[in-house]
Each structure stands twice: as C-alpha cells, then as structure tokens.
Amino acid sequence: MKIKKNNDEIESYLRDASNLKGSANAVYLPETVAELQKQIKKLYHSDIPFSIYAAGTGLTGSAVAEKGVVISMELLNSFIEFNADKKYLKVQSGVRLEDIQDFLETQNFFYPPNPTEKLSFIGGNIATNASGARTFKYGMSRNFVRYLKLILANGKMLELRRGQNLATDVNLILYADDGSETALVLPSIKMPNCKNASGYYIKPDMDAIDLFIGSEGTLAAVAEIELSVLPMPDNIMAGIIFFNEFNKMLEFIVQSRDFSNERNKIDINLNDKPCARLIEYFDNNSLEFLKTFYSQIPHDAIGAVWFEQEYYYEFENIILVQWYELITKYSDLADGSWFALNETEHRKFREFRHKLPLTINELTSKNIQTKIATDTAVPMENFEKLFYKIHEILSETGINTCVFGHVGNNHLHANFFVINEDERKVALTAYQKIIDLTLELQGTVSAEHGIGKLKKNYLKQMYGDEAIQAMKAIKRALDPKMLINQGNLFD
Amino acid sequence: MNILVCVSRVPDTTTRILVGPDGKTADKTGVKFVLNPFDEFALEEGLRLREKNGGSVTAVTVAGEVAKDILRTSLAMGADKVAIIKTENEFDSYFTAQNLAEFASNRAFDIILLGKQSIDYDSLQIPAYLGELLGIPSIGVVSKLQIEGNNVSAERDIEGGKEIVSAQLPCIISAQKGLNEPRYPKLPDIMKAKSKPIEEVAAIDCQPRTTILEMSIPSKKRAGVILDGSDGSLDKLVTLLHEEAKVI
C-alpha cells in the first residue's frame, strides 16, 4: 500500500469540486481490497477518523476530510468481470465512469446512469446514488447496483446481493464476513416521492443494499460493485428545441414528460411515437451564456429543451413527423430547432449541455466566489408550481442568475453569480426561499448532488431533528466510534 | 456556383478501434460511423458559398453501400445533390482520388471542397492528388476563405503562424477546423433529405498503388513513477533517469 504524508502530496486530497478545504495527516492508497480492509481495521482500533476519497468530483464536500486520514480508492481500479449474457459488469470502486462507458461501448453495451462528470469513480457514484440526464428513463444509480462488497468502519466485510437481504418490516439484520450480526430497527422516515439524494434510503421491507447506496460514505467504504448494464440501443434521435413563449414551453415540457413516462414502459421496438429518454431545460439566461459559443441559437429564443429518444429504425420517419407536429404546436421556432440522428451530432448536443455548468464554474472562479446552486426536485404533480416560482424568485433578486436542469425528473438547478458580499446575501436568501418552496411542495433539498458537509442544515429542515437523530443512530450501530467520513449528513 | 464537396465515412471519434483477425483491417464490430468531422467544415463552407452566390452543392463519396448514411446527413445539412461512387473492395487514397477526379472532370465544378484529412486512415493525400489529376490549384489546411469573382484568397494554418495564398477558380480547398461552425440540421431538412435521390456511379477500375501489410494498436505507455519532493528522491530521480530511462 502506498502512503502519502507530505503536505504537497496530500493537498489535492483535501478538496472536492465544491472548493471546500479539509485537513488530514496522511493519505493511504490501498492496492487490494485486503489492504483496504486491513487498513480500516487498524484505523478503527486506533480510534483514528478516516474519510474515503474517490475522484473528488463531488459538489458538497462529502469526500473532504475534517481530520484524521484519507483513504484514496484510486488504485482499486480493476475491471473484475463482464458477462454479456447475464448483462453485468463487476468492477472495483476506483474505476472511472468514463472507462466503464468506454469499455462497455466496445461490447455494444452501456451503463444507463450517466452523471455529467465522467471522471467520477463508480464507487463515488454509488456513495451519492448519482444520477444524470438519462435518469428520466432509467432511474438513479441505485437501480443498476446488483451487488456490493463493503468494508464497514470496524473493518468487517459486508457482501450484499440485491434481493437476498431484505428487512422484515422495520427489522433489518446485516451479516458480516466474520459471522457477526448487526440488527437495525428502521425508523419511520417519509422519503419524498421524487428523485432524491438527501439522507439515508429507509423504508419498511427494504433491501439492505439500498441503505448503503447514497449513504455518502458514512456507513462503509465501497470496495467492489456489480452493475447491471444494457445492450446499446441501435438508434437515438435528439433535438434541441427552442421556444419563444414561456407558458407554451412549460406545457411542452409537461406533456412530453407525461407521454414519455407512459411510453418508456413499452419495448422500443414496438413504439412508433415520440418518447424521450431524457428531457433537459435551459432558461433564457442559460442560452445567453451559451450564445457566446453557439452563434446558431435563434435570437428570439427564450428557453430550450434538449431531448433524446431511443427508437427502432423502421419507425424513424413516423416518429420524426410526430415530433415536428408536436413542436410546431408549442413553438414558433420549430424550423430553427436542431435535430440529430448520428453520434457526432449527439455528442455536440451533450457538449452544449455540459458547456453550461463549465461556463458557470469558470465565471464563479473568475468572480472569486464559491458556487451557489440549488439542486431541488419535487413530485411530478407539483412541478409546474416549482417551475414558475423559481423563475419568479430569481427575477426578484436583481442579480445575475440562470436555471437549467433535468425537467423530466422535475428537478432544476438555479445558479447565482454574485460579485460581492451584498449580492451573496441576496443569493443566499433566494436560495433559502427555493428550499422553503421545495419543501412546501413535498420535494427534496438535494436531488442528485447529495448533502455532504455543505447542505446539512437543509437536510435537517427537510426531515426534522428526530429523523436526523434516527439516521445518526443507524450510523452509530454500524460505526459506534463515528469514525468513517465524519461530518457528512449530520454533525 | 457549382460546388462539389467530397465526404468520407469514418469511425466516430471516440470509438476505440480494434484490429480485425486478419491483422490488416479495423474490426468494425460495434463501431459507429459518422461524417468525417473535417468534411463537415468543407460542407458548411460549400453551403455558405451557395447561400452567397447561388448555385448548388453536390456531396460525393467513394465507398460501399453503407456510406449512404453520411450522404443523408449531408442532405440534411443542406446539400442539393449527393452521389456515391460505389465500390465494395478495400481501396487506397489513389483509388479514391482517381474516382473523384473522374466524377468531377465532366461536371464543370467551380470549386471542390473537402476536409484536410479523413480521421480514419489520415493519408492527407486526396487534395493534392485531385489538384494534380484535374490540373487545377489545390490549397490545403484552409481556416479562412474569401472568394470575389474568380479570385480566391485563403488563409492557411502553418506551423507557428498563418499564410495567405491566392488562386483562381476552379480550385480545390481542403478545410481545417475553425473555417466555420457547421450548422445543426433542422427537422424539416432532415425530412426532406429522406426523399431525395442518391445518384449511384460505378467506380472506375483503377489499381490501388499501396497495400496494407499490417495494422496494430500502439502498446500501452509505461506506467510513470511518482517521487515525492524530498532530497532523497532527487538522488533516486537521477538514478532512475540514468539506469531506467537511460537519458542521462
């Protein structure tokens, strides 16, 4: 096992993409799962707090150590097994998402969850239950985890295969590799009925594996993962549709979300109608940012929607005609909207989407500020209220903002670009208003980025103190000394 | 203005290419093919010339039946006509150039545009071959193009700088990245492209001048060694550079 102790060497392990700065004495880089287990055991018995570090691409500081030592997963980066017949891929936790997608592509397969950050580690994806644009059709990372090999805070190993360790009502028993048992009584927590990355996944009769997915490293280190993968669809069409009227754009979003939700249940080889696998939104300010790089954005556009659809080749024409009819109904800019039927164009559309957060991050750094961005989602029936209200709250601030996000999942990112302390205060007040609004609408304070160390207050506001104490009790049952990933989710 | 754009079908830029069992050809299993990205710049430039001067844009490729997909893409971007010079055999750049020259020779094109290279075999030979075979000027790696009447002024990327050259129409221009921003296809154009005919021309018989003997994937880079910043590691660095890398 490699160990790094010099300040210069460990500096880069004390930050993530949120710019939060941490502190640690050393970084351990296990090269095998056995080394990982041995090291964790040693730290536990020496009462030394430790944080698990994946790629450091998180946005909420969950990988940033407060003290103690860091365990970096970067050398646990082997592919273990790919089985095309049974459609799974088994890897170690430090494999990059990009490498997984690239490998699968050579096998004509793909891994549906597709967070925008391709340099993330799959272990980090599991820890935050990552999601992305395709979550609209396929759901979050959780849906594609078949098996986990975990190292608990005390160094015991826990292997969980989906479907094989279920709670009986609220009683969940975990069996470690040394034969010991941990019995948990699951608290009653009402999770929001939407895409969610806030706090533990807890419900009666749940699968034990789901408790660990999205637990932000607070319960165990993820060592190995078996992922469900799917054969690559033969054909994908995509559009970036520009709109000139706000209300009609919202109607289009809601309508295409609803029919796609229905039709996504149908085999794509039988579906001859429009049916999106992702629906992404860009507001007027987002388009203004992008116009610097994309001169072809129509001048009178006030917003845009990007969609992708998987389809059977025979139905290409008939589906295209229907999209066109639908789009002309809601926008005068149908003829100026962009369409793509091949991989080059698809990549350009993805770059168009990816360019936005990149531009925002650059601007934020240029203004010497930390990023202020919401990550809230609400149940489907409340989406229109969220959509209207967020735009209203932002326009009232009088500062530079933009909104974009996964509208298929009723999930929006509001971004604030502040240039001084006064604007910062205004932004944080608006941020709080959006949190309050989201919770009124039975939503979640974090739909995909997680809570980490930066959004703990919002988690508390969402679930209340009692629920937080109950979550903490679960952690304590598995990590009595509270050593692993201290400071995430709760204090 | 009668504009010809030569296009080619290449593996998608992010595809990982594997060598087939014969050791001479790329394994096409699971590979997605696209319009050569440099040809997109050529096509876009052709469309802009047509929009400014009137006339028509023809896109042509030398390939097998499968390449009709990139001709549909060319039509969707706005080409007026497309043609495929059909061959199902393996061929080289000379064969491609001979066939393009044959196609162009009796159709009186004012300008022939093409990408500076195809990103698959990277031979970079076609623009020069074509100039020679057709007896007209060929300007390569063009990142800015101006045409007034018959006068062509082209800015070329050269090592460390720019070069501006002039020529007379008809001529050949090979496109460099940055020449323009290729347009995104619009839905009505995609629909129209579907019903347009694709002209099929039989390839002329012409012996390739080169033969591929072997194809191989570059070996993986050796893993790097990371040393810490201590004094001790400075000695180690010197030793490694001397004994392992053998550079000092």
Q: Average the pLDDT over B182-202 and give the result.
A: 92
* Poorest-pLDDT segment among A206-215, A319-328, B20-29, B160-169: B20-29
Using a CB-CB cut-off of 8 Å, the residues of chain A touching B12 are 343-344
Q: Average the pLDDT over B87-116 and give the result.
A: 93
Share of chain B above pLDDT 90, in %: 64
Q: Which residues contact B245 (CB under 8 A, 6 or more apart)?
A: none
CA distance A83 to chain B (A): 17
The helix or strand, by DSSP H or E, that contains position A236, with its residue range, turns out to be strand A235-243
pLDDT at B244 over 90: no
CA distances from B92 to B20, B95, B98, B99 (A): 18, 5, 10, 11
| Residue B19, both tokens | 């060598």
Domain that residue B228 falls in: 218-248
Residue B134 forms part of a structural domain? yes
Choose among A203, A229, A53: nearest CA to A143: A229
Which residue in the set A106, A294, A324 is minimally distant from B30, CB to CB? A106
pLDDT at B126 over 80: yes
Euclidean distance between CA atoms A212 and A154, whole angstroms? 15
Backbone angles phi, psi at A150, to 5 degrees: -120, 145
Share of chain B above pLDDT 70, in %: 96
Q: Average the pLDDT over B206-225 and give the result.
A: 80
Q: Which residues contact B100 (CB under 8 A, 6 or more apart)?
A: B6, B60, B62, B85, B126, B130
Give me the pLDDT at residue A14, please.
Answer: 96
pLDDT tens profile B45-54: 999 999 999 9
Residue B138 forms part of a structural domain? yes
Q: Which residues contact A77 (CB under 8 A, 6 or more apart)?
A: A92, A94, A95, A96
Residue B192 forms part of a structural domain? yes
Which residue in the set A107, A317, A336 is minimally distant from B194, CB to CB? A317
Is residue B46 domain-shared with residue B148, that is, in the same domain? Answer: yes
Is residue B141 domain-shared with residue B236, that is, in the same domain? Answer: no
Give me the pLDDT at residue B80, please.
Answer: 96
CA distance A480 to chain B (A): 36
The number of C-beta contacts closer than 8 angstroms across A and B is 80
Nearest chain B residue to A6 by CA distance is: B228
Q: Do B15 and A342 touch (CB under 8 A)?
A: no
The domain total for chain B is 2
* Poorest-pLDDT segment among A442-446, B9-13, B147-151, B236-240: B236-240
CA distance B132 to chain A (A): 32
In the predicted model, what is the mean pLDDT of chain A?
95
Residue B209 forms part of a structural domain? no
pLDDT at A26 over 80: yes
Q: E strands along chain B, which residues?
A: 2-6, 9-11, 18-19, 26-27, 33-35, 56-63, 81-86, 111-115, 138-148, 151-158, 161-168, 171-175, 198-202
pLDDT at B228 over 80: no
Using a CB-CB cut-off of 8 Å, the residues of chain A touching B32 are 342-343
Euclidean distance between CA atoms A198 and A165, whole angstroms? 23
Give me the pLDDT at residue A397, please.
Answer: 95
Q: Taking CA A133 as the corner, what is the angle to CA A132 and CA A134, rounded to the nearest 5 degrees?
A: 95
Q: Taking CA B83 as the corner, what is the angle to CA B82 and CA B84, rounded to the nearest 5 degrees?
A: 135
| Residue A434, both tokens | 């959006």
Is residue B21 domain-shared with residue B128, that is, in the same domain? Answer: yes
Is residue B225 domain-shared with residue B191, that is, in the same domain? Answer: no
Chain B positions touching chain A (beta carbons under 8 Å): 12-16, 18, 29-30, 32, 34-35, 37, 40, 69, 73, 76, 181, 183-188, 190-191, 194, 228-230
Using a CB-CB cut-off of 8 Å, the residues of chain A touching B40 are 344
Is residue B65 domain-shared with residue B170, that is, in the same domain? Answer: yes
Residue-wise over B199-238: b if at least 16 C-beta within 10 A, else e? eeeebeebeeeeeeeeeeeeeeeeeeeeeeeeeeeeeeee
Q: Which residues contact A101 (CB under 8 A, 6 or more apart)?
A: A110, A111, A114, A118
Q: Average the pLDDT over B55-72 and give the result.
A: 95
Give me the pLDDT at residue A106, please.
Answer: 84
Share of chain A above pLDDT 70, in %: 100
Name the residue type at position B202.
Answer: A
Is residue B143 domain-shared with residue B244, that is, in the same domain? Answer: no
Is residue B187 domain-shared with residue B244, that is, in the same domain? Answer: no
Euclidean distance between CA atoms A423 and A429, whole angstroms? 10
Give me the pLDDT at residue B44, please.
Answer: 97
Give me the pLDDT at residue A322, please.
Answer: 96
Q: Average the pLDDT over B158-164 and give the result.
A: 91
Give me the pLDDT at residue B238, please.
Answer: 81
Euclidean distance between CA atoms A351 and A345, whole angstroms? 10
| pLDDT category of residue B229 using cuts at 50, 70 and 90 | low
Residue B175 forms part of a structural domain? yes
Using a CB-CB cut-off of 8 Å, the residues of chain A touching B194 are 317
Is residue B133 domain-shared with residue B228, that is, in the same domain? Answer: no
| Residue A449, both tokens | 């980025």
Share of chain A above pLDDT 90, in %: 89
Is residue B226 domain-shared with residue B197, that is, in the same domain? Answer: no
The residue that leads in pLDDT, A378 or A342, is A378
Q: Helix and strand tally (H, E) in chain B?
A: 6, 13
Which residue in the set B29, B40, B190 is minimally distant from A341, CB to CB? B190
Give me the pLDDT at residue B222, please.
Answer: 63
Euclidean distance between CA atoms A175 and A160, whole angstroms? 9
Using a CB-CB cut-off of 8 Å, the residues of chain A touching B15 are 105
* Poorest-pLDDT segment among A421-435, A459-473, B195-209: B195-209
| pLDDT category of residue B221 using cuts at 50, 70 and 90 | low
Q: Do A195 and A444 contact (CB within 8 A), yes or no? A: yes
Is residue B74 domain-shared with residue B38, that is, in the same domain? Answer: yes
Using a CB-CB cut-off of 8 Å, the residues of chain A touching B29 are 108
Q: Average the pLDDT over A68-81 and give the result.
A: 97
Q: Which residues contact A109 (CB under 8 A, 6 or more apart)?
A: A84, A87, A89, A229, A230, A231, A232
Q: Do A169 and A180 contact (CB within 8 A), yes or no? A: no
pLDDT at B227 over 80: no
Is residue B73 domain-shared with residue B157, that is, in the same domain? Answer: yes
Using a CB-CB cut-off of 8 Å, the residues of chain A touching B186 are 335-339
Which residue in the set A296, A321, A344 is minimally distant from B183, CB to CB? A296
Which span out of A74-78, B18-22, B228-232 was modeled with the highest average pLDDT?
Answer: A74-78
Euclidean distance between CA atoms B104 and B101, whole angstroms? 5
pLDDT at A234 over 90: no
CA distance B115 to chain A (A): 16
| Beta carbons within 10 angstroms of residue A367's beta carbon | 14
Name the residue type at position A238.
Answer: A
Q: Which residues contact A233 (CB under 8 A, 6 or more apart)?
A: A268, A310, A311
pLDDT at B231 over 70: no
Is residue B134 domain-shared with residue B163, that is, in the same domain? Answer: yes
Euclidean distance between CA atoms B51 and A431, whole angstroms? 48
Give me the pLDDT at residue B24, please.
Answer: 87
Give me the pLDDT at residue B220, please.
Answer: 67
Residue B213 forms part of a structural domain? no
Residue B212 forms part of a structural domain? no
Task: Look at strands A69-72 and A230-231 and give their pairing.
Answer: unpaired
Q: State the best of B32, B34, B184 to mutate against chain A, taking most chain A CBs within 10 Å.
A: B184
Which residue in the set A102, A240, A344 is minimally distant from B37, CB to CB? A344
Using a CB-CB cut-off of 8 Å, the residues of chain B touching A336 are 186
Q: Do A244 and A302 contact (CB within 8 A), yes or no? A: yes
pLDDT at A46 over 80: yes
CATH code for position B188 = 3.40.50.620
Q: Do B190 and A105 touch (CB under 8 A)?
A: no
Which residue in the set B13, B185, B194 is minimally distant from A338, CB to CB? B185
Residue B21 forms part of a structural domain? yes
